């Protein structure tokens, strides 16, 4: 094992364990998983084995084994981080500053021994997760000389398989774009694809894939649909998507300078993925943390602002935002923190108090509360 490259995965959840790790395991890296969940770490240590099953049963399962696992902030975790060849961060964007603070001492010790700067891949969905992590780490590590940070985008759906200890179910998707230039060159890891404009790709991903996902999720939840693909194929959900996505595509092309045909294909691929009944996914899983998803730079508000900026119609996207607020009220006590949908938009989402979007969302929120159908709202 001493001659093998080592990859330390911080965050042994469904993406870290079931997606990111597979590329490095197949490429011969020794894996070490670090997680704050004691039960997960215990199972990893006891089993030292788990299987990644493809939703497409014709695809052979991948058995991942021979790894180490440590509890976050333990001496063993710190030692593994200090000696790693690459760190893979998969913890949720909101947790990135915390992880940066936790690993900074190990990076300082590593630097003192004369080892090369640490290579770090931030494997998160977000507009600029690499920047968030890099700035937080630099503040704790005393500069950027001890590390190189790049982003890796996740387009693959994964789920923890029920009635198993560690196994993962996955979409048959085995490519991952990443910012090789930020690392000073490409990694010799099969399946990782260098991306020339990572910033634009991440924005397109959040504002296309995650935006359409928000429609499938929150409108589906309003209709009482739990299966994700069933929601994506529902006639009313599909009608809403088909009305708003052309406006979205037009806005992204103007704001990000994206080719129109390329963006249309991009959004079509997103809808095709979400509509695939062979991919196991759930509305409730995708709805969680609605406050994060209603931030100004995230999947609903940013596209709404882009559509407004090109003088497009934001009324349809306001239905999605209203459905998200209603879900948050019912499931995460959103309106215990914010007194009304308008306060959600002004205080959480950063929308101007006199914006037309607020009136549109409030109107649709009242209509949804009264039980109107999506078809009635689309008239």
Average pLDDT on 297-313 reads: 96
Total domain count, the chain: 2
Average pLDDT on 96-110 reads: 94
The token duo for 15 is 């993406």
> Which domain-ending residue is among 171, 196, 221?
196
- 1 in a domain, yes or no? no
Write down the residue that tokens 């052979």 correspond to.
60
Under 8 Å between Cβ of 9 and 88? yes
- 207 in a domain, yes or no? yes
* Structure confidence at residue 2 (pLDDT): 54
Task: Give yes or no for residue 123 having a pLDDT over 90.
Answer: yes
Strands 147-151, 118-122: pairing is: parallel
Q: How far apart are CA 214 and CA 299, in angstroms?
A: 7
Task: Give yes or no for residue 310 having a pLDDT over 60.
Answer: yes
Same domain as 77, residue 49: yes
Same domain as 206, residue 129: no
Q: How far apart are CA 11 and CA 134, in angstroms?
A: 17
Q: Which of 127, 328, 331 is nearest to 210 (CA)?
A: 127
- Assign residue 163 a region: left if phi > 0, alpha if psi is -120 to 50, beta otherwise? left
Phi, psi of 224 (to 5 degrees): 80, 25
Q: How far apart are CA 199 and CA 32, in angstroms?
A: 29
Same domain as 10, residue 139: yes
Q: What is the pLDDT of residues 206-260, one digit of tens each?
A: 999 999 999 999 999 999 999 999 999 999 999 999 999 999 999 999 999 999 9
CA distances from 185 to 8, 182, 189, 194, 195 (A): 20, 8, 12, 9, 11
Same domain as 367, residue 244: yes
Q: What is the pLDDT of residues 156-198, one digit of tens each?
A: 999 999 999 999 999 999 999 999 999 999 999 999 999 999 9
* Structure confidence at residue 269 (pLDDT): 97
Q: How far apart are CA 375 and CA 214, in angstroms?
A: 18
> Which domain-ending residue is among 196, 218, 239?
196
Q: Which domain holds residue 30?
A: 6-196
pTM of the model: 0.93
Q: Determine the 3-state secondary structure of 232 from DSSP.
A: helix
Q: How far apart are CA 26 and CA 276, in angstroms?
A: 27
| Sign of torsion over alpha carbons 74, 80, 83, 84 | negative
Q: What is the CATH number of the domain that holds 326?
A: 1.10.1040.10
Mean pLDDT (the chain, rounded):
95
The token duo for 20 is 């990111």
Q: What is the pLDDT of residues 9-42, one digit of tens each?
A: 999 999 999 999 999 999 999 999 999 999 999 9
CA distances from 16 to 41, 159, 289, 312 (A): 13, 11, 19, 39
CA distances from 213 to 155, 325, 333 (A): 12, 15, 22
Q: What is the pLDDT of residues 318-342, one digit of tens each?
A: 999 999 999 999 999 999 999 999 9
> Which domain-ending residue is among 166, 196, 226?
196
| Percent of the chain residues past pLDDT 90, beyond the cut | 93
């Amino acid at each position: 094992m001493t001659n093998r490259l080592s990859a330390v995965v911080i965050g042994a959840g469904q993406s870290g364990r079931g997606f990111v790790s597979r590329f490095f395991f197949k490429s011969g890296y020794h894996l070490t998983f670090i997680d704050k969940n004691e039960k997960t770490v215990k199972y990893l240590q006891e089993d030292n084995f788990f299987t990644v099953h493809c939703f497409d049963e014709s695809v052979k399962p991948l058995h991942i084994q021979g790894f180490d696992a440590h509890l976050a902030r333990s001496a063993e975790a710190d030692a593994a981080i200090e000696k790693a060849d690459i760190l893979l961060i998969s913890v949720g964007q909101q947790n990135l500053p915390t992880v940066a603070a936790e690993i900074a001492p190990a990076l300082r010790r590593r630097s003192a021994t004369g080892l090369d700067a640490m290579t770090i891949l931030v494997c998160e969905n977000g507009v600029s997760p690499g920047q968030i992590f890099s700035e937080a780490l630099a503040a704790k590590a005393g500069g950027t000389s001890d590390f190189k940070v790049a982003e890796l985008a996740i387009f693959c759906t994964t789920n923890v398989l029920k009635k198993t200890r560690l196994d993962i179910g996955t979409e048959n998707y085995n490519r991952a774009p990443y910012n090789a230039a930020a690392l000073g060159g490409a990694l010799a890891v099969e399946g990782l694809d260098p991306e020339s404009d990572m910033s634009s790709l991440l924005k397109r991903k959040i504002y296309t894939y995650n935006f359409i996902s928000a429609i499938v999720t929150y409108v589906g939840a309003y209709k009482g649909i739990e299966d994700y693909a069933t929601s994506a194929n529902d006639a009313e959900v599909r009608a809403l998507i088909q009305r708003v996505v052309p406006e979205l595509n037009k806005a992204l092309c103007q704001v990000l300078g994206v080719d129109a045909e390329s963006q249309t294909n991009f959004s079509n691929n997103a809808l095709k993925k979400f509509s695939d009944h062979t991919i196991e996914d759930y509305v409730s899983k995708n709805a969680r943390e609605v406050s994060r998803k209603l931030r100004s730079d995230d999947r609903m508000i940013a596209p709404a602002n882009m559509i407004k900026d090109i003088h497009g119609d934001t009324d349809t996207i306001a239905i999605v935002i209203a459905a998200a607020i209603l879900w948050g009220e019912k499931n995460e006590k959103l309106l215990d923190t914010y007194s009304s949908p308008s306060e959600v938009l002004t205080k959480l989402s950063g929308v101007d108090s006199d914006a037309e979007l607020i009136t549109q969302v409030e109107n649709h929120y009242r209509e949804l509360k009264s039980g109107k159908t999506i078809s009635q709202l689309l008239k």
